């Protein structure tokens, strides 16, 4: 009989502190492999393995692509790589970002659930928006366990709170109590893994989510590549709304809104820049017209410069929140 020996953990804002406390309570020689995705910057080098190795009893590493999965190890996602799980091995991928992140919590949870079914324990800790909710839904759908940090004590409650809206968690606990539960689950037997229904979980090429009959084509464009987005729903109450484009970029409703807000702001600042350049060009033409004693053309360019300046200022005030 297998145990719950594949533990996947997702965190975002406030995650370093939460993960440090969690791993400090895990016992040495734990009969489980622990996989961690902390949403981190694309550039630089994550020091998370060194931090976690110094805090607890289990060694933490950035795995190499293809490394075998071993009990008693912590595998932390490196910068700019999805940390995925296949049967018996770790996979690192530069597949499409999910919710704007690579590594992404959802990608780890989904692939672990597809590979190990009821042996998986999904853990959602502190963070913003609803990252990890879709992945935790997949863990539960494949027979795994869901553990969620109590939102009341999380540094950032969004991720735990949204996860609880999406799934019926098996455990909702203060952070200090989670290590003991994970250690117990790692010792508890589970039924032999059954076939896992569902789609190919790998991010990247088109898969069944994009083409499934339940999905509906939206009028929205992917913030990353501009492709058409398909919407589909899931979760305990069927209200977990997700979006995916044909190349595999995935978004929750909250992350989609954030990405479009960023794109809108960028477009408005670009409009301010274009208008200021238009004003500058009109002033140059106004000066040239004056030097040529063409008063009519000079007045026209002055009016054009003034109009561009007014439009730029209007947009600037909107961006600064003063209107």
φ and ψ of 86, to 5 deg: -115, 165
Tell me the pLDDT tens digit for each residue of 311-322.
999 999 998 886
- Residue 84 has a pLDDT of 97
User: Which helix (H) or strand (E) is 309 found in, with range?
Assistant: helix 295-319
DSSP assignment letter at 101: B
Q: How far apart are CA 103 and CA 81, in angstroms?
A: 5
The DSSP annotation for 257-281 comes to: HHHHHHHHHHHHHHHHHHHHHHHHH
Tell me the pLDDT tens digit for each residue of 212-259.
556 788 888 888 888 888 888 776 566 678 888 888 898 888 888 888
Task: Give me the mean pLDDT over the 51-62 stretch.
Answer: 96
Tell me the pLDDT tens digit for each residue of 115-174.
999 999 999 999 999 999 999 999 999 999 999 999 999 999 999 999 999 999 999 999
Tell me the pLDDT tens digit for each residue of 99-124.
999 999 999 999 999 999 999 999 99
Whole-model pTM: value is: 0.81
């Amino acid at each position: 009989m297998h145990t719950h020996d594949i533990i996947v953990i997702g965190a975002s804002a406030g995650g370093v502190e939460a993960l440090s406390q969690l791993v400090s309570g895990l016992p040495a020689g734990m009969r489980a492999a622990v996989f961690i995705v902390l949403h981190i910057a694309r550039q630089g080098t994550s020091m998370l393995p060194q931090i976690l190795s110094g805090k607890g009893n289990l060694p933490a590493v950035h795995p190499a692509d293809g490394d075998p999965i071993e009990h008693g190890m912590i595998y932390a996602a490196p910068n700019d790589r999805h940390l995925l799980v296949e049967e018996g091995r770790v996979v690192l991928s530069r597949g499409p970002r999910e919710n704007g992140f690579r590594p992404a919590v959802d990608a780890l949870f989904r692939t672990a659930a597809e590979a190990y079914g009821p042996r998986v324990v999904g853990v959602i800790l502190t963070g913003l928006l609803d990252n990890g909710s879709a992945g935790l839904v997949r863990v539960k759908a494949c027979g795994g366990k869901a553990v969620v940090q109590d939102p009341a004590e999380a540094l950032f409650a969004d991720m735990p709170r949204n996860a609880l809206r999406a799934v019926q968690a098996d455990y909702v606990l203060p952070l200090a109590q989670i290590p003991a539960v994970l250690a117990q689950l790692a010792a508890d037997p589970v039924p032999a893994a059954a076939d896992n229904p569902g789609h190919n979980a790998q991010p990247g090429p088109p898969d069944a989510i994009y083409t499934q009959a339940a999905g509906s084509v939206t009028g929205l464009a992917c913030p990353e590549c501009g492709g058409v987005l398909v919407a589909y729903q899931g979760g305990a109450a069927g209200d977990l709304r997700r979006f995916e484009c044909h190349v595999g970029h995935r978004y929750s409703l909250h992350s989609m809104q954030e990405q479009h807000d960023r794109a809108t702001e960028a477009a408005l600042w670009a409009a301010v820049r274009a208008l200021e350049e238009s004003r500058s060009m009109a002033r140059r033409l106004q000066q040239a017209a004056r030097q040529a004693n063409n008063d009519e053309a000079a007045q026209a360019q002055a009016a054009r410069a003034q109009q561009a300046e007014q439009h730029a200022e209007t947009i600037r005030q909107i961006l600064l929140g003063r209107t």
